[in-house]
Amino acid sequence: MEEPRLLWIDQICINQSDRKEKGHQIASMSKIYESASRVVIWLGKDSTASSHAMTTLEYLGRQLRLPSDSLRQIVRRAEEIALNRNRKTLSLLLEVTKMSKCVDPRDRIYGLLGLLMKGELDVDFMPDYTKEVDEVYKIVFLKASSLTGRLDLLRHCEHGSWPQKEIPSWVPNWNAQDKANHIAAWLDAGRDLIRPIAWTPEGLLEVDTVNLGRIISTGDVILRPGVSPEERLRFTRQLGDMEPSIGDRSPYLTSGEDLLGVHISRLCWGSLQNKLMDYHVSSLEQYMKVYKAIFNSTSSESSTIINEPLVRQIEYWASGRRLFTTSQGHLGIGPAPMQVDDAVCVIRGCGAPMVLRPVMDETDIFTVVGEAYVHGMMDGEAILGPLPPSYTVGLGRQRGKND
């Protein structure tokens, strides 16, 4: 005769209508699951094809030997977390789970509390479902940034993600959908903070920046993976169209080098191969081979070239963004909402450069537009050696000069 068993079912054992009880129980869930002898996840009611689907998955699991594209993305995420085990993983966890469905947007944060490294949030930080979503996100941003001494969570901000313009633009909306994939987490353009985080009651976050110039040209928004060959070809050729707008101002160009070649080989996360092993990228020559073939090929030849694994990899990282050039000759990839005359800055404590928009009639107040990749400025180059003029600016609400 089977013995009685003790079951704890979150949807039954937690009073979902009691916000205080829900907050207290959510904080204990990691301990509950850690001490459980077995965890069962119910995905929904069975259908006529469920048994066949499970059998098929088991069969595929036994047959699979080489990593597929989807598995490669999972492995890459695991490697990112492993490579960043001494860094702040809240940003990584939020990126990994961004496609997960969530009934209550506050659970984007509360559901991760049991997975966070010690020191990222106060040990006494408790879920509070009585607070509005934007207030929860703001508190988490300030607490995590203050405790870790980093502003990497700024990289999760994108202009227009909050429908309410009174919410500070430096507060990420982690429940916003259809956002671009984040730039590689191991890059560290801004290094560490040089002073404690400061914010004002008016909603201004004070940050120390190094200006990389204003945006003077932008390309079209790069479409999501899975688009037609013609659309893929159009975005790859935009890089060649931007060469004339850079000219002799490029800070990367030395005597005898081909400007287009320099950017083709390095722009689209060219340093990726030095940071993380990839199954398809073996050398810079491969970048040059693929992209020069694209620029010199006919339309009929292009459909074969742009299905190269390398092109699909770059498309994954660049989709939802657009190419840009700056007044100082920098070339990069930025967020879709960016505009001409936006500023590109390295912010101390933030791993990626940020695109900022000047607020009308203000000289030192900006609104956050989103993160960017700037060739040659992703490993702290902007703040190494003799520092260029660095100034403190305020990041305010979601209203810029052209909003």
d(CA 371, CA 179): 11
Residue 60: pLDDT band by 50, 70, 90 thresholds? Answer: confident
User: Chain centroid to CA 178: how far?
Assistant: 12
Residue 396: pLDDT band by 50, 70, 90 thresholds? Answer: confident
341 & 243 share domain: yes
Residue 2 lies in a domain: no
d(CA 167, CA 143): 17
**pLDDT at residue 381 above 70?**
yes
Check residue 373 and give its pLDDT. 86
What 3-state DSSP class applies to 236? Answer: helix
Structure confidence by residue, pLDDT tens digits, 72-125: 444 444 444 444 444 446 888 888 888 788 889 999 998 888 777 777 776 678
Largest CA distance in the chain: 84
Residue 230: pLDDT band by 50, 70, 90 thresholds? Answer: low
256 dihedral zone (left: phi>0; alpha: psi -120 to 50; beta):
left
| Domain range for 309 | 208-395
Domain total in the chain:
2
**pLDDT at residue 145 above 80?**
yes
The string of DSSP codes covering 335-354 is ETT--TT-EEEEETT-SS-E
170 & 247 share domain: no
What pTM value is reported for the model?
0.71
Tokens representing 140? 């988490």
Residue 29 lies in a domain: yes
Residue 358 lies in a domain: yes
163 & 291 share domain: no
163 & 302 share domain: no
Question: Lowest mean pLDDT: which of 86-90, 207-211, 329-333?
Answer: 86-90
**φ/ψ of residue 285, rounded to 5:** -60, -30
Residue 281 lies in a domain: yes
Q: Among 183, 200, 221, which residue terminates a domain?
A: 183
Residue 197 lies in a domain: no
* Of residues 192 and 136, more confidently modeled: 136
Check residue 85 and give its pLDDT. 46
Mean pLDDT on 61-82: 50
Q: Among 126, 148, 183, which residue terminates a domain?
A: 183
* Of residues 171 and 184, more confidently modeled: 171
User: Chain centroid to CA 35: how far?
Assistant: 33
Check residue 272 and give its pLDDT. 42
**pLDDT at residue 197 above 70?**
yes
Check: CB of residue 376 under 8 Å from CB of residue 347: no
Share of the chain above pLDDT 70, in %: 62
Mean per-residue pLDDT of the chain: 73
Torsion angle, CA of 98/357/203/178, rounded to 10 degrees? -20
Share of the chain above pLDDT 90, in %: 16
**φ/ψ of residue 324, rounded to 5:** -150, 160
